[in-house]
């Protein structure tokens, strides 16, 4: 047994530079910057094209940004104030955090003319200890003019564009009122990569209409994308959303993950996942007051992460163990 452990540590150290069983976000940034880097979130007052009528109205059926916005995020506050308050919050919570990424999180943070984006991003990049930008957006809210701007910033700062993928199935994207198809995501991720800008992706497991096998099959599609980072969330039904109404009226349409099932699912998914993808998170965390669906005993993300890592160790497996480039 000890020989297996030693061999495993040598193998993962060769792949990622550490002995954890997946390509971990925290260690990735420690390698990149030489110290802990913390994201501080910003609500810059954006909306989305599937909210304002450009492509649809009502937004994605699962979405209520209030459920994950920290208390210091308020679009009425200037960006710099939100960053400063976020730095203070994280300095108390994570005392080792010395560098920060300005995370423009709420809604679609490139859904505006380029000059307006520059007025928001520019001051953030000038702040001391801000080493880059994380920008959450949609594939249909990006164009080559903006990509040229981000490519220029990338020469001096860390920049990653996080695209909401959510599902690789067009039937699901239509059902959740996403407003674009999967090919739109594929094309934009490839275009972003061609400009030398880092790409991230966000996936939700448990969306209605998808079987467990269909969810698992998505790993092979994702593996073909030029992603740097990826996030996984389990579906949670949030108050005030169209999906909450659908859940109340037709609960039989939903097959939500239990915690133990989800941990097992994620381990199997990880085994097939491209080992070059940096995994940022495995699960979403929503304050219980926002939840319509039952929480997992109010477990925090770090506890779910620990459970997944214990299961990986128990099964002596890792991210990419069964990865195939074909």
Summarised one tens digit per residue, pLDDT across range 177-187 is 999 999 999 99
Token pair belonging to 192: 């972003």
- 308-326 mean pLDDT: 93
Between helices 212-222 and 259-272, what is the axis angle to 10°? 30
Where exactly are the structural domains of the chain? 24-314
The CA radius of gyration of the chain, in Å to the nearest whole number, is 19
pLDDT at 218: 98
Distances 215 to 104, 167, 275 between C-alpha atoms, Å: 28, 8, 19
pTM over 0.75: yes
Residues paired with residue 40 on neighbouring β-strands, in sequence order: 102
Give strand ranges (E) for 146-305.
Answer: 158-166, 198-205, 229-234, 278-281
Place of tokens 């099932």: 261
24-314 CATH pick, 3.40.50.620, 3.20.20.70, 3.40.50.1950, 3.40.50.920: 3.20.20.70
For residue 134, name the pLDDT band (cuts at 50, 70, 90): very high
pLDDT at 55 over 60: yes
pLDDT at 109: 96
Percent share of the chain, pLDDT over 70: 92
Cβ count within 10 A of residue 106: 21
Question: Residue 238 carries which DSSP code?
Answer: B
85/79 Cα distance (integer angstroms):
10
Question: Would the CA dihedral through 81, 86, 92, 94 be positive or negative?
Answer: negative
C-alpha 166: how far from chain center: 10
61/38 Cα distance (integer angstroms):
30
7-47 residue pLDDT tens: 544 455 668 999 999 999 999 998 998 888 899 999 999 99
Q: Is 37 helix (H, G, I), strand (E, B) or coil?
A: strand
Burial environment of residue 41 by CB neighbours within 10 A (0 to 12, 13 to 18, 19 or more): buried
Q: Is 293 helix (H, G, I), strand (E, B) or coil?
A: coil
**Angle CA 298–302–305, to nearest 5:** 105
Stretch among 53-62, 215-224, 283-292 having the lowest mean pLDDT: 283-292
Place of tokens 């000038």: 126
11/17 Cα distance (integer angstroms):
9
Residues whose CB is less than 8 angstroms from the CB of residue 115 and which lie 6 or more positions away in sequence, other chains included: none
Q: Are the C-beta atoms of residues 237 and 243 closer than 8 Å to each other?
A: yes
């Amino acid at each position: 047994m000890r020989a297996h452990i030693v061999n495993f540590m040598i193998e993962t150290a060769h792949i990622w530079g550490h002995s954890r069983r997946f390509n971990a976000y925290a260690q990735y940034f420690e390698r990149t910057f030489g110290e802990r880097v913390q994201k501080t979130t910003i609500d810059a007052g954006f909306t989305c094209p599937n909210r304002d009528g450009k492509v649809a109205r009502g937004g994605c059926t699962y979405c209520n940004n209030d459920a994950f916005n920290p208390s210091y995020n308020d679009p009425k506050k200037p960006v710099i104030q939100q960053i400063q308050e976020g730095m203070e919050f994280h300095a108390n919570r994570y005392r080792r955090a010395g560098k920060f990424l300005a995370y423009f999180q709420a809604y679609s943070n490139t859904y505006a003319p380029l000059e307006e984006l520059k007025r928001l991003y520019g001051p953030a990049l000038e702040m001391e200890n801000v080493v880059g930008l994380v920008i959450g957006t949609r594939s249909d809210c990006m164009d080559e003019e903006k990509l040229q701007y981000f490519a220029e910033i990338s020469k001096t700062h860390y920049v990653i564009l996080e695209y909401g993928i959510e599902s690789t199935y067009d039937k699901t994207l239509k059902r959740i009122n996403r407003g674009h198809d999967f090919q739109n995501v594929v094309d934009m991720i490839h275009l972003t990569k061609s400009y030398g800008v880092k790409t991230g992706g966000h996936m939700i497991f448990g969306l209605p209409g998808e079987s467990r096998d269909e969810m698992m099959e998505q790993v092979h599609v994702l593996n073909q994308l030029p992603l740097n980072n990826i996030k996984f969330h389990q579906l949670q039904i949030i108050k005030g959303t169209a999906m909450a109404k659908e859940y109340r009226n037709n609960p039989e349409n939903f097959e939500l993950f239990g915690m133990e099932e989800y941990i097992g699912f994620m381990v199997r998914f990880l085994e097939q996942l491209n080992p070059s993808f940096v995994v940022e998170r495995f699960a979403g965390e929503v304050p219980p007051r926002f939840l319509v669906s039952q929480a997992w005993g109010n477990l925090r993300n770090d506890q779910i992460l620990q459970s997944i890592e214990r299961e990986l160790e128990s099964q002596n497996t890792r991210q990419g163990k069964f990865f195939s480039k074909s």
